[in-house]
Amino acid sequence: MIYTITFNPALDYIVRLDHLKTGTINRTEQEYILGGGKGINVSIVLKNLGMDTTALGFIAGFTGQEIVRQLNSFGVRENFIRLREGLTRINVKVKASDEETEINGRGPIVSNFELQELYTQLNSLTADDTLILAGSIPSSLPSNMYEIIMERLANKGIRIVVDATKDLLTRVLPYKPFLIKPNNHELSEIFGIPLNTTEDLINAAHTLQSRGAQHVLISMAGDGAILVAANGTVYTSPAPSGTLINSVGAGDSMVAGFMTGYTKTGDLQESLYWGIAAGSASAYSENLATLPEVEKLLKGIKG
């Protein structure tokens, strides 16, 4: 089973309009509400690709119940901890023709008792399971939440995937995550210098491996992706051609695609192809990647 954790999920209220003018009334041309959060996105794409997955994390109130309803509509299994107080946050995303504006909610407070419930869930994981840690940590939880979890699970043989930024990523490296997925810009932020060439990125990946990471998957948007394997082998894949429609969720989809390919084949090059195809399928659509979309792009990538 592949488990994901989303510590701070949200309902994304997305509105599109021709032009945003502050200080007055604006009328939308399109609007929709999507359950969001990196782990949730990963679980949806995993299920779309035919994988068994369970979404873990915290939800609260009627907004949390809407996320559950949407996950159920995708057929995703969930075992969220229902918080006793507060509401799952709402993020407002305003997309105008000339600019985009976001207002992100803070989210509910997670009590220590509710956090212990999560630890109890994680105690049941075995070496047959994969755990994907993705996204930010709410202010009510310890900032080293990922480290705490990985330390607790260190001797269980669980494959752990981490998709996070800056310190949240680098601080878990001593616990030897199975896979990390920074993009090229995030790597530059981690090292504090521009990493402009493939060689720069590969060298950065090797440095992260020297600190404990096993496989390093580097996404580069339209320039494809690089996988630096634990044994030092470098795999590459171009991005398939297509028109960018919505980049939100593309990185999460790449993680889901990679783990789908790895679970199906155990082959790292094939896993990379699945990752880039799933990430691109989401980027080229208003919605998250589906299996027919991914299979079509796979054929183009492999030639």
Dump pLDDT digits (tens) for 182-238: 999 999 999 999 998 999 999 999 999 999 999 999 999 888 899 999 999 999 999
Query: Residue 169 is encoded by which pair of tokens?
Result: 């990523």
The three-class DSSP label of residue 219 is strand
> Domains of the chain: which residue ranges?
37-83+107-302
pLDDT band for 287, please (50, 70, 90 cuts).
confident
What pLDDT digit, counting tens, does each position of 51-78 carry? 999 999 999 999 999 999 999 999 999 9
Task: Report the distance separating Cα 26 and Cα 217, nearest Å.
Answer: 42
Asked if residue 227 lies in contact with residue 287, where contact means CB atoms within 8 angstroms, the answer is no
Q: What is the dihedral of CA 120, 125, 131, 133, to 10 degrees?
A: 10
CB 259 within 8 A of CB 242: no
β-bridge pairing 10-17 and 30-36? antiparallel
Whole-prediction pTM value? 0.92
Of the candidate ranges 89-103, 143-157, 269-283, the one whose mean pLDDT is the lowest: 89-103
End-to-end CA distance of the chain: 32
For domain 37-83+107-302, which architecture applies? 3-Layer(aba) Sandwich (3.40)
pLDDT tens across 76-123, in order? 999 999 999 999 999 998 988 878 888 989 889 999 999 999 999 999
Return the bridge partners of 161, or none.
132, 179
Q: Is 200 a catalytic residue?
A: no
The answer, yes or no, to whether residue 43 has pLDDT greater than 70, is yes
Catalytic residue among 12, 129, 163, 252: 252
